[in-house]
Chain A
């Protein structure tokens, strides 16, 4: 059976599973729709959180990114996992004890302010739309690259699938499809990684292969990689050209941004208690760590293998006659370019140009480099072929990439729809709306958001901010959402005025800085003009401290929050002691009502 056939079978098969789950897990109430009825098992929620969290970028691009950046890529590894420690220790259990549906819901009630709620809605919507457009684009790329379907058609198919399970099942449908999606994506990621680790180091565990010697040689994999890349004029793999302060700032922005991302936080509203939220965060990180500790190994192996097999190999013109031509090259004592290279050349992710006319491919740093196109996604995608795995494994990897993109898109969709139906409509504009109407509005909002996200994916080439997801989403979440949530729990004196000032001082300058250096006038000047040498990816970390300081200063200069609110904050710190405090308690009835 051809590889494309296998890909079709895997993609269609997994899509059928997702839809089947959606029909089985239909949402009947707003409780089901927003938070899956508050009774998801912590381990199940951990797995769903991991799928929610790991996007098309984590699955397809991260290993390639690390392969090119070497040590500099560590910011993603530490940043996107370390944030879960902050979530587990500082936010998730307390937010669960507070018992709301959405992040703006917490902000609005804790700071007794519609203005604060609306600013949080704006932050949540902007972050989520930026992020979701990237996922839809990923779906389009996967379809057009592997199934011979047009980019736009691919997005329509993706929209259709997400529409069915998100609109029908809400958070409940999404939770269980995400569990299935996690299984698909982790299997698709680790199987090729195990084989490539075996080939290069002889150790089947990629995490151990990463620190082992190269098979049959007396030199460690990393030492050999350093040697090989410096010989070709690249910088050492275990070094970086980023400054130490910039590394520090980017890691910080990604960690605090992770903790402040609404679509991650809401996952912890779906479990039954604060204790379950803590356990669930631990399991989420276990499931995430499986992929994140494999990725740097894949990165190193792939870079080494690429240089080994492609550099100085003799180019083979035709793919159809590859076997005979390659045999001729071997007979003449040469090294033919690997077959997988030819296979992937037609997708446009790889390209070579014989600049010196010697018929061989030279991979170098600088102007003599003959590998003119080397897409960072290629390393994960080509892994199965590099490891000589059968055609169906490639189909599995494509299905895994789609699972990663769709599961993240669905989680973001929930944030968008609940911000609109719950925070904007039910809690602000139409306060007397009943549960049934709200559910209908939530479904409508989810449907609208699917369509909007699809179009943002289709026009992603024209929307400059879509390519800057990392900077925008994490920077804004770190600088504007994390400080108000954190202070709202750990400092009961924090008041409405402080919260509004803090969110705005986080949001506005971070947005402007990223826009200026990534899209606007400062793009050309680049790193020379950076404030304190901090890149746009790391600036959220700097403004987070400004936002915290402004929030504290403004709170101290203005009236303390009402006694009710201060008592409420004390209550949520001690699970099970929460009493009624006169603010709307929808979503969770107070446990110990003494009034």
Chain B
């Protein structure tokens, strides 16, 4: 149920949003800058199909994770909005 603006715990909601955002950005960083660039050499010792894993993350894998991250964010935000009674 949505509440009147005055009853909403805006600060609590915002803290929860920031926590979620930080978590997702950490994953965003790990699959692109991490797996695709910084730790590429380590990951390349493993293969996915016929491609070295680090190289694959840089050219294909990171993009799949990006898509999943945004849709997860949509779902998680909707859950937060319901929990805090934000209209959205």
Residues of B within 8 A of A247 (CB): 37
Residues of A within 8 A of B64 (CB): 289, 293
Contact of A286 among B2, B44, B56, B67 (CB under 8 A): B67
**Contact indicator B67/A279 (Cβ below 8 Å):** no
B48 adjacent to chain A (CB < 8 Å): yes
**Contact indicator A210/B51 (Cβ below 8 Å):** yes
**Contact indicator B60/A210 (Cβ below 8 Å):** yes
| Distance, CA A289 to CA B61, complexed state (A) | 11
**Contact indicator A577/B5 (Cβ below 8 Å):** yes
Main secondary structure on chain B at its contact with chain A?
helix
Residues of A within 8 A of B49 (CB): 208, 211-212, 220
B46 adjacent to chain A (CB < 8 Å): no
Find the A residue at minimum CB distance from B35.
A78
Of A191-199, A270-278, A382-390, the one contacting chain B is A270-278
| Distance, CA A14 to CA B47, complexed state (A) | 43
**Contact indicator A223/B58 (Cβ below 8 Å):** no
**Contact indicator A275/B58 (Cβ below 8 Å):** no
**Contact indicator B51/A211 (Cβ below 8 Å):** yes
**Contact indicator B71/A282 (Cβ below 8 Å):** yes
Of A124-132, A373-381, A461-469, A567-575, the one contacting chain B is A567-575
Contact of B10 among A207, A289, A570 (CB under 8 A): A570
Residues of B within 8 A of A275 (CB): 74, 77-78, 81, 88
Find the B residue at minimum CB distance from A224.
B50
A265 adjacent to chain B (CB < 8 Å): no
Residues of A within 8 A of B60 (CB): 77, 207, 210-211, 293, 296
A500 adjacent to chain B (CB < 8 Å): no
Whether A248 touches B33, Cβ cut-off 8 Å, given contacts A71-B58, A574-B10, is yes
Whether A88 touches B88, Cβ cut-off 8 Å, given contacts A81-B62, A247-B37, A293-B60, is no
Report the minimum CB–CB distance from A227 to chain B (whole Å): 13
Find the A residue at minimum CB distance from B52.
A238
| Distance, CA A274 to CA B28, complexed state (A) | 21
Residues of A within 8 A of B63 (CB): 77-78, 81, 289, 292-293
B6 adjacent to chain A (CB < 8 Å): yes
**Contact indicator A220/B37 (Cβ below 8 Å):** no
Contact of A279 among B6, B37, B55, B74 (CB under 8 A): B74
Interface positions of A from 59 to 109, Cβ below 8 Å from B: 66, 71, 73-74, 77-78, 81-82, 84-86, 88-90
| Distance, CA A591 to CA B73, complexed state (A) | 24
A244 adjacent to chain B (CB < 8 Å): yes
Residues of A within 8 A of B88 (CB): 273-275, 575-576
Residues of B within 8 A of A279 (CB): 74
Residues of B within 8 A of A292 (CB): 63
Report the minimum CB–CB distance from B69 to chain A (whole Å): 6
**Contact indicator A244/B66 (Cβ below 8 Å):** no
Whether A85 touches B48, Cβ cut-off 8 Å, given contacts A289-B64, A574-B14, is no
Report the minimum CB–CB distance from A67 to chain B (whole Å): 12
CB 8 Å contact bits of B5-48 with A (1 = contact, 0 = none): 11010100110010001001100100011001110000010001
Contacts A/B (CB < 8 Å), 10 sampled: A78-B58, A85-B69, A89-B25, A207-B60, A211-B60, A238-B44, A275-B74, A293-B60, A570-B10, A574-B14
Question: Which residues in A have some Cβ–Cβ distance to B below 8 Å?
Answer: 66, 71, 73-74, 77-78, 81-82, 84-86, 88-90, 207-208, 210-213, 219-223, 238, 244, 247-248, 251-252, 255, 273-275, 278-279, 281-282, 285-286, 289, 292-293, 296, 570, 573-577, 579, 591-592, 594
Instruction: Given A251-B32, A296-B60, A577-B87, output 16 extra A-B contacts at Cβ < 8 Å.
Output: A77-B62, A85-B25, A85-B28, A85-B69, A89-B73, A213-B50, A223-B50, A238-B44, A275-B74, A275-B88, A282-B71, A285-B70, A293-B60, A293-B63, A577-B86, A592-B5
The 8 A-B pairs of least Cβ separation, nearest first, read A220-B50, A576-B87, A211-B49, A74-B58, A282-B70, A296-B59, A577-B5, A592-B5
